[in-house]
Amino acid sequence: MSGDAHLAIAYETNIQILAVASGKCMQTLKGHSFADVKAVSWSSDDSRICSGGSDWTVRMWDVSSGKCLQTLEGHSGYVTAVSWSSDDSRICSGGGDTTVRVWDVSSGKCMQTLEGHSFDVTAVSWSSDDSRICSGSFDRTVRVWDVSSGKCMQTLKGHSSAYVRAVSWSSDDSKICSGGGDKTVRVWDVSNGKCLQALEGHSSDVRAVSWSSDDSRICSGSNDRTVRVWDVSSGECLWNSVGLHFDLRFASLRGLLPVGLNFLRPGLSLSPVLPNLAVAVDNHMIHFLRRVGGTPGMSCLGFPPIASLPRGTPSLEK
């Protein structure tokens, strides 16, 4: 693949790789056997994708050739979350069997099975040094795991209802933010497990969260069809996208505030090449938006659409 930014979007049992600039489908990855692909994640060098599906497998793909390099089997339920380690040597996954699994990419073997959640695992994320994993679950908790020992170091409780759908580490690994069915974004101190902030403003489930590169702000996406940017210290909502009218249940945003912000959702993932781009998906269209206004370190002023593509039509099929 070229150095341009690409979008990976799960569509039924396939994964389509779209060139952001042209909207052209560059590759279709086929291999999950039934139902749907529930999670996708790019390797740091953009050469590979891992995916999780309802067929209980994690699959690793070569993006250029479209070939499946590995099929990782071990989960006894659908796989709803996947993430690469920063050095691309390992993948972690979570799913309906309530476990988090750590896989060795070179051998395809399961290195660790992390057990402790009582319901489906819906989100996973590596710390920046790859020594820890945080996970979110339908059991309303966030757990922090030591990868080497497989032990649960912290269980973060505070989300009051439904589930935790999104988790993200701060760049210094001292804090975690999470979003869930109680409509809140919560900020946690990893050292003591205390909730530092409960950011309220969304009117429906929070499905995606991510830190700015300087850890001063958090971006969140919700079923209420808004993106919000929060000041972590004050808890103030600095910006919200009311008026965009996109369904953000499967949103993937890259480089919103400032350059370097990742905002990736299961089923849709943008390669880490292009800053200042947002992607929102509703039932019929994929919408590309670009950040305008503001400067690094300051809040964004808006995300006007720059292009829209039909979703699931022949134009997206290779």
DSSP, res 314: G
Edge-first strand order for the sheet with 175-180 is 164-169, 175-180, 184-189, 195-200
User: Which pLDDT value is given to residue 136?
Assistant: 97
User: Which pLDDT value is given to residue 208?
Assistant: 80
Place of tokens 């139902």: 35
Please report, for residues 38, 52, 60, 131, 288, the alpha-carbon distance to residue 31 in angstroms, rounded to integers and kept in the order given.
13, 11, 10, 31, 27
DSSP, res 212: -
- Residue 191 CB coordination number (10 Å): 9
pLDDT tens digits, 209-237 = 888 778 888 888 777 767 788 889 999 99
Confidence of residue 41 (pLDDT cuts 50, 70, 90): confident
- Could you give the number of structural domains in the chain? 1
252-254 vs 262-263, strand pairing mode:
antiparallel
Q: Measure the CA–CA gap between 106 and 89, rounded to whole angstroms.
A: 7
User: Which pLDDT value is given to residue 284?
Assistant: 44
Kindly state whether residue 90 falls inside one of the protein's structural domains: yes
Between 149 and 243, the higher pLDDT residue: 149
Confidence of residue 56 (pLDDT cuts 50, 70, 90): very high
Q: Measure the CA–CA gap between 287 and 279, rounded to whole angstroms.
A: 6
Structure token digits, residue 197? 């902030």
Kindly state whether residue 148 falls inside one of the protein's structural domains: yes
Kindly state whether residue 16 falls inside one of the protein's structural domains: yes
CATH number at residue 302: 2.130.10.10
Kindly state whether residue 1 falls inside one of the protein's structural domains: no
pTM of the model: 0.80
Edge-first strand order for the sheet with 48-53 is 37-42, 48-53, 57-62, 68-73
Confidence of residue 61 (pLDDT cuts 50, 70, 90): very high
Confidence of residue 20 (pLDDT cuts 50, 70, 90): low
Angle at 257 between CA 50 and CA 309, to 5 degrees: 55
Q: Taking residues 27-46, report their average pLDDT.
A: 85
Between 220 and 128, the higher pLDDT residue: 128
Full residue range of the structural domain in which residue 198 is found: 6-316
Q: Measure the CA–CA gap between 170 and 286, rounded to whole angstroms.
A: 29
Q: Measure the CA–CA gap between 318 and 9, rounded to whole angstroms.
A: 13
| Mean of the per-residue pLDDT values of the chain | 77
Give backbone dihedrals phi and psi of 123, rounded to 5 degrees, phi first.
-155, 140
- Residue 223 CB coordination number (10 Å): 17
Structure token digits, residue 207? 């499905």
% the chain with pLDDT above 70:
72
Give backbone dihedrals phi and psi of 64, rounded to 5 degrees, phi first.
-65, -45
Q: Taking residues 44-72, report their average pLDDT.
A: 92
Kindly state whether residue 85 falls inside one of the protein's structural domains: yes
% the chain with pLDDT above 90:
47
Place of tokens 């390992």: 90
Q: Per DSSP, what are the bridge partners of residue 3?
A: none
Edge-first strand order for the sheet with 25-30 is 25-30, 14-19, 6-11, 268-270
Structure token digits, residue 74? 């071990």
The answer for residues whose C-beta is within 8 angstroms of residue 2's C-beta and 6 or more apart is 19
Evaluate if residue 311 carries a pLDDT over 50.
no
